[in-house]
Amino acid sequence: MTHWMPQQICWLIAALAVASLTALSEALPFLYTNARAPINWTQPELAEWRIEAQPRSITPLIELRRHVNRTNNAPADSDAEFLERLQALKQNRSSARMLWYDAAVGDGLTYPPFVDKALKLFNLKQVAFEIENSVMSKVSCTACKAGAGLLQHYIKSGKTEAELMKMIAQYCTNLSIQSPRVCEGVAQLFGSEVIYVLQRVNLGPDELCSFIIGDGCGDVYNPYHEWEVVFPPVPKPPRLAELPMPLEGAPFFKVLHISDTHYDPHYVEGANADCNEPLCCRLSSGRPANPNAAAGKWGDYRKCDTPKRTVDNMLAHIAETHKDIDYILWTGDLPPHDVWNQTKQENLEIIKETVKQMTEMFPGVPIFPALGNHESAPVNSFPPPYVNQVDISINWLYDELDVQWRRWLPQSVSHTVRRGAFYSVLVRPGFRIISLNMNYCNNKNWWLLLNSTDPATELQWFIYELQSAEFSNEKVHVIGHIPPGHSDCLKVWSRNFYKIISRYESTITAQFYGHTHFDEFEMFYDPHDLTHANSIAYIGPSVSPYYDLNPGYRIYYVDGDHDMTTRLVIDHESWIMNLKEANLYGYPIWYKLYTARAAYNMKALRPNDWDKLLNELTDNQELFEMYYKNYWKNSPARPTCDAECKKRMLCDCKSGRSHDRRHFCADVESKIDEGSSKSWKSWFYRGLTNSYSLISSITYLPKYLLGYG
């Protein structure tokens, strides 16, 4: 993720927003005009790419292995017999795999009238806080509109790219938004991309900031970014009244989930951990002002990423403790948070080094990776395939990913990896993993402003894979980096994704993401029946302690190969290292923080079981406090959580569709508000009773003080 992830672009806008207050005195014409030059909008020409013509993974990638410490590890039949029995369950043997894609539908795009609201004063400190925590309000929205409007004005007035980037760096430095070198780096790395995009779009500040910030900036209608995926004319299978529970004692897969490593090769023990930049604990961070400001040996709770020794120690611990891992989910974000001075070459080196390390630590174990938002340079920059100029194309990253991921993935996925860093692999007979590039839903990916319509045709390809899986009676696990319900996911993309999950709820049995760095989950419901939970997304904890967190990873137990398999997650464990104790005693100890079913008293981990837990978390404060501890990975640096914090967290769990909190969260918020009122009254009366009892117990006080005399 992270907390700092959207900052780089927003800093530019914040700096320009303050400048716009000065410019207001000059009555800049762009602030008040309704005029908008007409534009002939055409869809970017896409390379000829037919989804149905691409090769598919149809041979199971994993061969079952016997683990001596398991009593249920032997499949009942051979792969061929198991597959034949699965095929016999198919209701429609004759259905062919097809792609339903309506290429004849035009874009029909028209521009709404442009009305720029008058600038308002705003609090820069609040803007900075909201940017840091990815929680945007009207304050950040106002700053965004002011900055975007001014930048567009300067572009139209003919200022050169060099002049614009110099101006951005100067404002950033003079307003002390960041240190001079960070301001300069941000301007150089991101300025060119932002200017390139804004020169080619005809959106006003209202539309731009609604796109970037989301519901914190209003739901502005924007016909450029309204689109729908096309579903095949195949009826949705009837849903079951209740999903069956996985059989106890049946074969299972043990799965490791690692996310958000953010390995920092420049981490230095004893360096300043309390610097004024987005990433500290480096020689360049300066000397610590006092011993408490020094970076710890194994990491730090402040804005510092993961030192190499911590990554090494964690992987060695996993290899020793979990010798029976069947496969690994690796959901991205490998480079550190020094996004103001990263280069493509440095990020590629980190990718190569970490892939090599994973291969050596887990020989023979299949690894299924997903792409994070930090792998690109600059961060969040993922141009769709139609942006094919050599200097700005993303091919430099996707081509290398294809080479590195080929260690674990079959040859058949090369086409989609090189096109958009997504793929589909048959793991076992009747069981498939689909890895999505969630950066095509990232609203900090400014390239999507040019055209956000299903970038790289990823969602249409996703539908094709799911329909093929449905025809083949396969169950599917989906992996990615940014959770689709997170505020960093573009609303229109998330809305389409939500429909896909609902349509294929009988095929998709679990989803796995990272990005937030917290230990949490996200719910999906039938859009037409919000009482019916139809999918669960597991959001794994980060390895990086950035920030205020303990390092962690997850272990899942997935229903394995047998006649009645559901391919559901049977249970999961979260493992952490107490960073404070590791730095204090000089050596880390990794331990199991909790097991989901035992901690939350769940009889299974089906979507409806998670929905019940969500209701219990709303009503049961003691249970919520346990969830809150696990959410922060038992960090001693975690803040207290009031009613507003509780509403935000549980609403995050409820909302698998981004920027639509009002639709999902009214019941949760009203229950918490009601509970907070009762809790306050209970606390007040309990306090009075306890105080009276205490005074009454002091027998030597004069009776008249107690009202008896």
What is the rounded distance in angstroms from the CA atom of residue 47 to the CA atom of residue 70?
50
What confidence score (pLDDT) does residue 142 get?
Answer: 84
What is the rounded distance in angstroms from the CA atom of residue 414 to the CA atom of residue 328?
20
What is the rounded distance in angstroms from the CA atom of residue 33 to the CA atom of residue 42?
25
Q: Which residues are annotated as a binding site?
A: 260, 262, 333, 373, 481, 515, 517
Helix, strand or coil, per DSSP, at residue 15 = helix
443 within 8 A of 211, measured Cβ to Cβ: yes
What confidence score (pLDDT) does residue 691 get?
Answer: 53
285 within 8 A of 271, measured Cβ to Cβ: yes
Question: Count of alpha carbons within 13 Å of 338, Cβ hemisphere only?
Answer: 24
Instruction: Return the amino acid letter for 242.
Output: E
370 within 8 A of 436, measured Cβ to Cβ: yes
Instruction: Return the amino acid letter for 214.
Output: G
What is the rounded distance in angstroms from the CA atom of residue 4 to the CA atom of residue 7?
5
What confidence score (pLDDT) does residue 356 get?
Answer: 97
Cα Rg, the chain, nearest whole Å? 27
198 within 8 A of 186, measured Cβ to Cβ: no
**Buried-state track 645-678, b at ≥16 Cβ within 10 A, e below 16:** ebbebbbbbbbbbbbbbeebbeebbeebeebbee
Question: Count of alpha carbons within 13 Å of 387, Cβ hemisphere only?
Answer: 23
Directed axis angle between helix 607-619 and helix 643-654, to 10°? 170
* DSSP summary character for residue 18: H
**Bridge partners, 526 (sequence order):** 529
Instruction: Extract the residue ranges of the chain whose pLDDT is less than 50.
Output: 4-6, 21-46, 89-122, 124-125, 680-683, 685-686, 692, 694-709
* DSSP summary character for residue 243: P
What confidence score (pLDDT) does residue 700 get?
Answer: 40
Q: Per residue in 380-401, pLDDT tens? A: 999 999 888 878 899 999 999 9
The length of the chain, given as a count of residues: 709
Q: Per residue in 423-442, pLDDT tens? A: 999 999 999 999 999 999 99
Helix, strand or coil, per DSSP, at residue 572 = strand
| Ranges of H-type helices in 586-642 | 596-600, 607-619, 621-631
What is the rounded distance in angstroms from the CA atom of residue 337 to the CA atom of residue 279?
6
3-state SS of 366-430 is CEEECCCCCCCCCCCCCCCCCCCCCCCCCHHHHHHHHHHHCCCCCHHHHHHHHHHCCEEEEEECC
Which positions ≥6 away from 32 have C-beta within 8 Å? 116
* DSSP summary character for residue 263: B
618 within 8 A of 628, measured Cβ to Cβ: no
What is the rounded distance in angstroms from the CA atom of residue 211 to the CA atom of residue 9?
13
Q: Which residues are annotated as a binding site for Zn(2+)?
A: 260, 262, 333, 373, 481, 515, 517
Omega prior to 378 cis, within 30 of 0: yes
| Nearest alpha-carbon partner for 23 in 190, 152, 127, 126 | 152
∠ CA 352-440-392 to the nearest 5 degrees?
Answer: 65
Burial class (CB in 10 A: 0-12, 13-18, 19+), 124: middle
Q: How many CB atoms sit inside 10 A of residue 393's CB?
A: 15
What is the rounded distance in angstroms from the CA atom of residue 564 to the CA atom of residue 11?
54
What confidence score (pLDDT) does residue 299 get?
Answer: 98
What is the rounded distance in angstroms from the CA atom of residue 492 to the CA atom of residue 448?
12
**Buried-state track 631-642, b at ≥16 Cβ within 10 A, e below 16:** bbbbbeebeebe
Count of H-run helices and E-run strands, the chain: 20, 12
